[in-house]
Every structure is written in structure tokens, then in C-alpha cells.
Structure 1
């Protein structure tokens, strides 16, 4: 609050809709293609093409971002809520040119993250630098307004989905083009084709993506990066296709069910979407749905019933735990993983109890300290 800032004003690019933004930078790694999607789309008996936009979205955890940094000679200790202790500790080590083992990051509990606490950010560097200069611990807390400028949030996106199909709604071609914003001096790719390429079967597919630099904070991870806006685009498009050909939106999804990963040409290890559709339809009473707009009521209220699917990949990372069996028969489990509500403390206690053969209440689980055994991002 004591800092006064002066700066030179230059032309700004506000958002993706700004004419000065241009077409952006192609991200070759996001290109997926097979068949001849554009030619087949142009010749398809049924064609729909629509644009789907999502705005910038921000996570605002109940527990604000903040930290305490403390140096002892060339060793740094940081008390900071973290979804990835090892990754953040490594970043601090790289920033200050010290070995990884010289940085200790402590985060036994975390009050919500949703992706926003998986990385070390600029304010952390400021706090650690101040602590080094002062020779004493420094506490920094991000204010509520700074929640929207101190770190990422999901990037705004713009995508066009074109579906070519036959008269029975069988998809023949998908042409997908996506754009997400990133900052002028940073890079963030929101993978908009991640769900588009695997959700529905098609012999012809083309997905390409650009990023556009705008004057904003570098975007970041927010609760399933890419998969959320990607699913929004393809699910909205297949609904429009269902309406165009006059087929029930659940039925059209089943007709175009992807039996394998089309790009890798491999069967799914697990994919129970058919079963999920069936269970949901039965529980919801989908057979009672009337497709005509404004035709369903609950008393004086108009009711609309819809269906959509989403997916998230199984991400696996190397991880370790240290298990100690103590003289009194109790068990300790240590890991640098964290628990932000998914039950890590409980699950590790149950697992150790089952393997060692003791009651779960005899197991003490210690998490959230980078001195413990190595693990990946939570």
C-alpha cells in the first residue's frame, strides 16, 4: 500500500475480441488431424457450424493466497498453501540459485486451491527476496482484490466447432478451431481440443489451436485445464446437430459413441460412458422428456431437460511414502503430498492399516512438508 506506481501508457489489447489481437500464434502441439475433415464436411448431407466462447474465470479460495518466508544462511523455509510442494520448492530453488534440498516448503492443510496453488508465483518471489534482504521472516498476504491479478485463472477461449453428418446423425467429420488468451510476456495453452478429439467417433477430424497475446495476467490452471471449455464446445455442437436432424440428444450421443481412442487407435482401458448415460437416463426419467421447446412444466415453471458429458484423463505421477512401524505398534506415514479435501489423510491411513494389519486409528499420517518423501502434483 506504500508503493506508488508510475508508468507510460501504450496501446492495450483488452481481450480476444479486440481487433488488434489478430489471429494469434499457432500451437503445433495442439494440432490433431486424421482423414480429410474439411473436404468431407463440405460434402456432408447435414452440416452445423457454430462458435462457442467462454470468459475469463477466476478461482477465489476461502483461504487467500499468502506465505511466510524465512532464510537461515542459504536455506529457505516457506510456509505456503500448496498443491505441489516439490514443484514449488524446485521453483524457489531455481529463483535463488540454491540446491533443491535447501528449500523446505510446508503446507499441512490447504483451504481450497482449484489449480491456483500448484505453482509458485511472483508474490512468493517478492516475499522471499524481502526476507533475504531483511534477514528476518517476512509474511505476505494477497488481498481479495489481488486474487484477480496476482495469479492465473482460466483463460478466455473462443472456438468454432463444425460437424458434418449423414441424415441419421452419424458424424462423418469434425472440424475444430480454438483460440485462448495468454499474457503479453507469458505463455499459457488451454488445450481446447482435448475432449473434442476423444468424445465421439468420426473418420475425419481436424483440430488446431492458436494463442492470442493480450494485456492480462498470465492465465493458469483452474479445475480441469482445457477439459472444461473443450467439453462445452463439442457438447453444445452435438446438441445442435441433434436438433438439426431431429434425434434425441441422448440417442445421438450413443450413435456416435467412440469405442476407442481414435488418434492412438487403442481401446480404452476403462470407459463406462454408455453405462453412465443409461443410469442417468433411468434415474432422471429421461423417457418422459418432451423435445418441444416450452412444452414441459412443473406447476407454473417451465422446465428444460438436457444432457451433456465430460471427461478428464487419468494422470499418473511417480510418488513415494515413508512408513514407520514404531515399538508401540503404531504406524507413521510421511509423504509430501497434500490433502485439500480429496481425503489423502484418510486414504493413506486406511491403506497402511490394511497392509500392516493394525486399526486405522493407530496410523498417524503426516503430509504437506517437502522434507518428506517425494510426490507429484495433487
Structure 2
């Protein structure tokens, strides 16, 4: 069929759910009104490792309104079948209330269930737990690493030894926590042997499968509902223990149970971006041609699960060089299991790689952009595949022009503004174009309106809006006549809402479903003797505002409403799908160039970001306004990683000292200056039918090293640990 006019896609529309959110009518996990719901509060373990020797819950049970205290002493034995399709890492996941072991500080040791939240909170403080504690291992540098994952091409050690110019440097990145506005929350209700949960999750399908595995029931006996997610950044990509605890408490009491984690509990009750140690050795000739890179990476994981993220990928494909060797070692510690956080792996690796490339440029007395340009690969040297699109040179050129890079004095500590040292820096951004199998349902009603459904999520990027745009254009309808629904495991399945794959995967499924419905309508019309379109070639028919007409004869046509009414059809419907090819013939990535200007107080070492620009090769931009929201948010997150965010752990007991938003610093308005994003026109038709490459992650990657490089340019002092603090600059 002929291509549809694109009236919604590419237009900077406002969020279709915006009014619901700003008026408080969007219903988040803890806000669903479930009749008869009790309240649950988790009792956290107060040692970092060891065993529980006794639990005294008598005072808690005696408190008015308390219905139950559940711990390993009285909890049911749960099935805990393997659940490989629920985003659980390799290892043995934490089994709620199944034994007396303490694996990390804050681990749930009991739950109090009461008529009111206040009663549950007070009673939780009355539960006395005694332990046989041992010293926890919490330091990445002092604990033994596991068997590394390795990669090699060429002979990196020999090439490095013979290089004319060498760097051997180590970078450290602190642990980061997601800190979304909405805390994690679950409401659980049993109806016989069927479980319904209202949950904050980025993957209703994964949570459904995990709960079914935990309780030993069929997948279709679990329903997960999650229409709105108040931010997550990756923290909702698996079902954490509190989800199971809510379901256990609901089954124990025979009543629905609501469980909301306190802000403090998010720091150990859900995952986090792991801390990294990253030694990098680079060899190059005196013209700046890279010959070798040797990467030795260590990252924390828990003692019971091996969490690994894609920190090795950038070092394999970002720059051209014949010799590469990598070793990624997970270090088991007495901590909760980490989880993906915006730009996972790539953001941590880019800080090391992009800082080191900047250091090399300084050693060679070469412009940092020129050095990168000289090492642009012609293909993906890790796979031998051609890049589907790779427009990094254009990102550099556009970014340099728009940022005013040509006015930069390259000498460090050469520019001042009163007491402030001024510096500019840049870094390359890259992220994998992930895609997964997805389905969507589309229904065209007799009144000309449409309903589209898919079991994806919306944690903030605007899924409701972008899918409505795609559906509206594919059906030939105005956006206000299309309703998109998501966040229910009864809907057609999708991959996790993370890794920048939702637009490519779910969007392509929505496009396919709506194309099928439109094709049904056009086929019905051209075969209907009473239709003005009877006998026409379906390929010549396009739809605008719900009216089918010949592309070259717009007067000849009719509306969906007329067609369905005349034929007595209450609706037309279809299931659409998308599946990425089993084997890619190209290498798919989104790219960017990030530019930053900082001011550093020469006396106090305070760092203030003054402006930032990102230029992105991210394929087709479905919704420019949403893309800006993603880009600016990603930059803000990068500011946090670069200058503010880090976890402080008490080595004596594993307690997170700054488990609150007063002491764990995140960027606020005063920390965020002028931010600007530019998107190169174009699409990537090889990646998916929409031509998108994903934008949610790439806009975070590269921000921290751009800031770090600007700090070096301002001060002449290279800081190799994140966050960059005033103390490190004094």
C-alpha cells in the first residue's frame, strides 16, 4: 500500500497524558483504590552480613491494628522456580523469608501488616531482631574479583609496549542510585489461586513471570497492572523482594496488601549503578593514530548474583585500532544486586575512555575533536559488520560550530572570568540500538475512533504520546481520535521498557497493527460495490482524518465511519508484531557529541556547569518535544554523576550513610544551566520499520567525561574519579 502522510510523527506535540499528570489524575502504583487493602511495612536488617538468631515480634503483634508479622519463622516455603525471562542475573536470587541468612545491610527480615500505615510503621519499629553478625565486604578494591569476561583482537600488549606515545591511567566511578520521584510500591490481591498486583515496574511481563515462578503457579494466573510509572531510570527492570513480600502478606492475611518502600529503603531495597574501577592503557603514534587499548575493568556485584552490564562494548567499536584486550571482572560484595541505570555500562566506560582520549590529545598537543576524527573506523571492528548509519563526524562538526569550539584557547588554565577558571570539554556518546520482539493490538471502531494496546510501560519518556503519534499516522486519524493503552500483562507482550528499545520495538509493532487495520478498511472499500472507492487499486488509497481517498483524486473517497456503518461492522481489529532479525547484517548504534563549559572557583574548587550542548545521530525523531525532554533529562543525570552523586557506605556494617535526598546529592535547578540538544535529520531503515535508533540512553552517555574534560581545561588538573568534588580540586 502507498505510504501514509506523516502528520503526527515528527511533530512536537504535547503529551497526551500531560493533563492527567499535572492535575493528579494519573494513578500510580500506590494510588489504586483497592477495597479492604491492609498496609505493610518492611523491617530492615541492621547488620551487613551474618545470620538471624532470634526475632521477637510480641510487642508488634500487641499493637492495635496489627494483623500479622511475617518472617522466615512463619513464612510459607515458596517454589522459587527458575525465571530466566524476568531479568534476573546469573546466580541465586534473594529468596524472601526462606532462611535466616543476612546478605547485606537493609535486607528485609520481616514485614508488619496492619489496618493503617501508621500502625504498621510503628509496629515495625517494635520488632526486635538479634543477629550473629560478621564483618561485611563492601570495598571494591579490597575484595577478590571473580573470573573475568575477556575480549581480544590483535596483540595489544606488544602493540602497547612498542607505541610511541603511551598512557596508563586508572579511573573510578562511584555507585549511583536511581532516586525516581515515585518510590517503589506494590499492591497485591489474591482471588483464589490467582494473583493481581498493581506495581511500579518497567516490565509487566517480567514481573508476571517472576511472581508465577516464585509462587509456583502458571503465568496466566498472575496479572500485573502498571499504567503510570513516576520515573525509574532502570530501577524497575526486575521484580525486587518487596513485590514478593506484598504477595506473601496478602496470601497470609487473606486481604489485599499495599506496600510502599520509604525513600531510605530504595537505596538497598532496589538496585543501583555499580561502582567501577577502570584501568586503561592506550598506545598511539605521534600523529594520533591509535594502535592499542588495554582495558582492565572491575565492578561490584552482590555475593549471590553476578550482575554484568555492557561496559566492554564501547572499547571494542568506538575507535579504530588493530589491537584491543579487555577483562571485565565482577567483584562479589555484601551488597544488594546492582541493576541497569540510564546508559548502563556505556556511561561508566565512556568516562574512562573519553577522559583518556582527551588526555592523549593533550599529550599530543592535538585538538580533541581532531584526534577523534583521525580514529573514526570504517566499520565495526569488533564484528566486521558495516555500520547501519554512523554520522559522528557530522555530530562533531555541527557541535563544534554551534558551541563555538573554534574560539577555545587550547591551553589549560588559560581563561578566567574574575575568580572563576573557565574551561570547555567534549566527549563522544554511543549506545547500542536495542530491539526486541513486541506485539500490539489495534481496533478501529465504527464511529471512526481507534484503540491501540500494548503491554509496555511509560516511566517518563512519553510512550503514551509517541505511540499515539505512530498509530494516528498509520491509521490516517487525528491524534485526538486515537487512544493508546499500556501497562497491563493482559495486553500483547513487549520487551522491557528500558535500553532505549521501546520506540523501535513497540512502535514498530503498533505501526504494523495499525497498517493491518487500515489495509482491512481499504480492502473492504475497494471490494464494496457501494463505495466510491470500488474497483480502485488499494495501493492508490491514502487516509487523512479518517477519510479514505485516492491519492491523485482526493474527491473520490469516503470515511471509515461511512464504510463500517454501511457494512454493519462494529469494528476492524488486528494484532501486529515486530521481531528483529535473527542475525544482524549491520552494526546498530546511536551516537552523539557532547560539549560542556564549566567555571571552577580558583580559590574554593567549586565547579559550576555554565552550558552544555549535545548533537545526536539517533535516527528518526518521532516526537521532537519528547526527544528534548529525554536529552535534557539525560544531561541532568550526567551532571549528577559527574559532580554530585555517590554512595557512602560505613565499612563496619555496610550501612549506606547517605540514604536520603538530603545527603545523597542530585542536581537541582541551581545546578542546571542552559542545555541544548540537536538531532541530525535522517533515519535508520535497517534498524526497524520506523527508522529510530533510540535516544533515552545515548543522551546520558558522554556527559560526565565532557564535564571532566572541561574541568581539566579550566584548571590543568586531571580528576580521574567521579564525582568531581571541590576537595579533589583544592
1:27 aligns with 2:148: yes
1:342 deviates by: 1.8
In 1, Cα distance between equivalents of 2:202 and 2:489: 12
Q: What pairs up with 1:310-349 in 2 under 5 angstroms?
A: 310-349=429-468
Q: Does 2:485 align with 1:366?
A: yes
Query: Which deviations, in whole Å up to 9, do the C-alpha atoms of 1:21-53 show, x marking residues without a partner?
Result: 12x11233xx22100001110111111010011
SS at structure 2 position matched to 1:252: helix
Following the alignment from structure 1 to structure 2, what is the Cα–Cα distance between the partners of residues 362 and 206?
Answer: 55
**Secondary structure of residue in 1 paired with 2:438:** coil
* Matched residue SS, 1:154: coil
List runs of 5+ in structure 1 lacking aligned partners: none
Q: Does 1:237 align with 2:356?
A: yes
Equivalent in 60, 73, 95 of residue 179 of structure 2: 60
TM-score by length of 2: 0.50
1:155, 1:190 within 8 Å by CA — same for their partners in 2? Answer: no
Could you list the per-position Cα deviations for residues 150-192 of structure 1 after superposition, in whole angstroms to 9, with x for gaps in the alignment? 0110111101110011011110111111010111122211332
1:149 is paired with a residue whose SS is helix
Larger mean Cα displacement after TM superposition, 354-363 or 226-235: 354-363
Equivalent position SS for 2:248? helix
User: Whole-Å Cα distance in 2 between the matches of residues 121 and 5 of structure 1?
Assistant: 22
Would you say the 8 A contact 1:15–1:215 is kept in 2?
A: no
For 1:96 and 1:27, the matched residues in 2 are separated by 34
Pick the aligned partner of 1:278 from 372, 380, 397.
397
Return the offset for 1:229: 0.5
Matches within 5 A, 1:1-378: 1=124, 2-18=126-142, 21-22=143-144, 24-28=145-149, 31-298=150-417, 300-378=419-497
1:269 Cα deviation after fit = 0.5
The answer for unaligned runs of 5 or more in structure 2 is 1-123, 498-730
The 1-side partners of 2:444 and 2:477 are apart by 10
Query: 1:126 offset after TM fit, Å?
Result: 0.9
Deviations 1:325-370 (A, max 9, x none): 1121110011111122222212222222222222111111111111
User: Counterparts of 2:423 and 2:151 in 1: how far apart (Å)?
Assistant: 35
C-alpha deviation, 1:300, in angstroms: 4.7
- Per the TM alignment, residue 198 of structure 1 is displaced from its structure 2 partner at its CA by 1.2
- Whole-angstrom distance in 1 between the partners of 2:182 and 2:374: 45
Distance 2:402 2:419 in 1: 24
Structure 1 position 114, deviation (Å): 0.2
Which residue in the other structure is 2:689 paired with? none
TM superposition shift of 1:226:
0.5
Q: Kindly provide the CA deviation profile for residues 39-91 of structure 1, in whole angstroms up to 9, marking residues without a partner as x.
A: 11011111101001111110111100011000111111000111111111111
CA distance in 2, matches of 1:309, 1:280: 11
Q: Which has the larger radius of gyration?
A: 2
User: How many matched pairs?
Assistant: 373
Query: What secondary structure, in the 3-state scheme, does the structure 2 residue paired with 1:117 have?
Result: coil
2:227–2:457 CA contact under 8 A, matched in 1: yes
Q: How far 1:299 sits from its partner (Å)?
A: 5.0
C-alpha deviation, 1:11, in angstroms: 2.7
Maintained 8 Å contact 1:131/1:138: yes
- Contact kept, 8 Å, 1:65 with 1:141, in 2: the verdict is yes
Question: Is the Cα contact below 8 Å between 1:115 and 1:222 reproduced in 2?
Answer: yes
SS at structure 1 position matched to 2:279: strand
CA contact (8 A) 1:64 1:143 kept: yes
Distance 1:41 1:66 in 2: 51
Q: Is the 8 A contact 1:161 1:234 kept in 2?
A: yes
Find the aligned partners of 1:263 and 1:186 in 2 and give their Cα distance. 28
Distance 1:255 1:141 in 2: 52
Give the superposed CA RMSD: 1.2
Q: Measure, in 2, the Cα distance between the counterparts of 1:27 and 1:130.
A: 40
In structure 2, distance between residues paired with 1:341 and 1:110: 7
Could you list the per-position Cα deviations for residues 199-256 of structure 1 after superposition, in whole angstroms to 9, with x for gaps in the alignment?
1110111011111111111111111210110111110111111111111111111111
SS in structure 1 of the partner of residue 306 of structure 2: coil
Question: Does the 8 Å CA contact 1:186/1:218 hold for their aligned counterparts?
Answer: yes
